[in-house]
């Protein structure tokens, strides 16, 4: 650890902005289990600590990113030389009738199961999405023709000017795997209010069990990955194009396109995000050459 790093950590400790970890393996921070390190990870406990931290970061012009469970992230570097902010401590939950108020750091799968077991319907699609609530809203995560945009009524954000404000569904510009937050990364999701409906608990749980069985049969869930790599082009499937381009089961420097599902890249050998990014670019290029279709990457690449 260099002396600059020591100074930075000393400064961060001084401003009391939460737990600080240094040289954190990226494999602990990503579902791809990527090789490499993150210089500093900070876990603020509350909004006050987060505001102090972001203020310090901006005043000192430090590179930073807010991350959830890293279930959609590719760090295209062996060493992230900045501060990663994890809102793991923002994990409170209150359920009042069909209204759910939940912290951005709450685990989405846990939330989806919890409300489903109570007979609340609307979040069944999320039982297979291993992110946080904040990350899911940022990406507008979805499955089975539903997504966060259908259930989020409002969110609390920290704005780039460090004010806490409420944004409503109509302000959030939810589209297929896209949202206002994604296009305006200076805003940080702190909390969400979801509105669900009353349903039949047996019907809900049967549907979840059926989908889980299907996922296990059709997706390589036993290997590190970050789910679907590419968005489905209009009227087609990304997996079909990747397969036709000859990439099913193909290996590239330790990364691999899954035999089970051609829109999944798996990382059985713990390679870095640099390798995975290069692999994605190679696949994109060949699909473009063969079908004249520009595949859009659904996963987020962090430089």
Q: CA 205 from chain center: how many Å?
A: 25
Q: Two tokens at 222?
A: 């036993």
Residue 262 · residue 247 · CB < 8 Å? yes
- What CA–CA distance (Å, rounded) separates 110 from 129? 10
Is 71 tagged catalytic?
A: no
- What CA–CA distance (Å, rounded) separates 263 from 283? 11
- What CA–CA distance (Å, rounded) separates 302 from 62? 15
Q: CA 193 from chain center: how many Å?
A: 19
Residue 117 · residue 74 · CB < 8 Å? no
Q: Which of 116, 228, 262, 272 is catalytic?
A: 228
Residue 155 · residue 100 · CB < 8 Å? no
Residue 125 · residue 116 · CB < 8 Å? no
Q: Which of 124, 154, 191, 298 is catalytic?
A: 298
Which string of DSSP letters, residue by residue, matches 273-301?
HHHHHHHHHHHHHHHHHHH---PPB-SEE
Is 228 tagged catalytic?
A: yes
Q: Which of 116, 177, 178, 262 is catalytic?
A: 177
Is 177 tagged catalytic?
A: yes
Residue 29 · residue 136 · CB < 8 Å? no
- What CA–CA distance (Å, rounded) separates 155 from 138? 11
- What CA–CA distance (Å, rounded) separates 209 from 197? 20
Nearest-10 Cα torsion for 249, 254, 255, 259:
20
Residue 7 · residue 14 · CB < 8 Å? no
Catalytic residue positions, numbered: 177, 228, 298
């Amino acid at each position: 650890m260099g002396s600059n790093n020591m100074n930075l950590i000393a400064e961060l400790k001084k401003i009391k902005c939460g737990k600080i970890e240094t040289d954190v393996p990226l494999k602990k921070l990503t579902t791809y289990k990527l090789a490499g390190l993150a210089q500093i990870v900070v876990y603020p406990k509350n909004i006050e600590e987060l505001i102090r931290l972001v203020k310090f970061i901006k005043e000192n012009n430090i590179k930073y990113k807010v991350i959830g469970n890293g279930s959609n992230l590719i760090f295209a570097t062996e060493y992230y030389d900045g501060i990663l902010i994890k809102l793991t401590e923002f994990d409170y939950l209150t359920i009042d009738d069909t209204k759910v108020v939940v912290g951005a750091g709450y685990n989405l799968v846990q939330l989806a199961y919890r409300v489903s077991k109570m007979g609340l319907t609307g979040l069944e699609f999320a039982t297979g999405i291993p992110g946080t609530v904040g990350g899911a809203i940022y990406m507008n995560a979805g499955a089975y023709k539903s997504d966060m945009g259908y259930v989020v009524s409002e969110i609390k954000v920290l704005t780039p000017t460090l004010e806490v404000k409420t944004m409503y569904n109509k302000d959030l510009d939810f589209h297929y795997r896209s949202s206002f937050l994604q296009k305006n990364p200076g805003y940080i999701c702190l909390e969400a209010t979801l509105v669900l409906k009353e349903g039949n608990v047996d019907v809900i749980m049967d549907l979840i069990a059926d989908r889980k069985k299907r996922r296990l049969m059709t997706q390589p869930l036993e290997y590190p990955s970050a789910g679907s790599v590419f968005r489905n082009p209009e009227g087609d499937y990304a997996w079909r194009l990747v397969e036709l381009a000859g990439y099913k089961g193909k290996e590239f420097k330790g990364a691999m396109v899954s035999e089970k599902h051609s829109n999944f890249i798996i990382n059985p050998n713990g390679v870095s995000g640099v390798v995975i990014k290069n692999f994605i670019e190679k696949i994109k290029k060949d699909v473009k050459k063969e079908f004249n279709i520009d595949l859009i990457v659904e996963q987020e690449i962090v430089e």
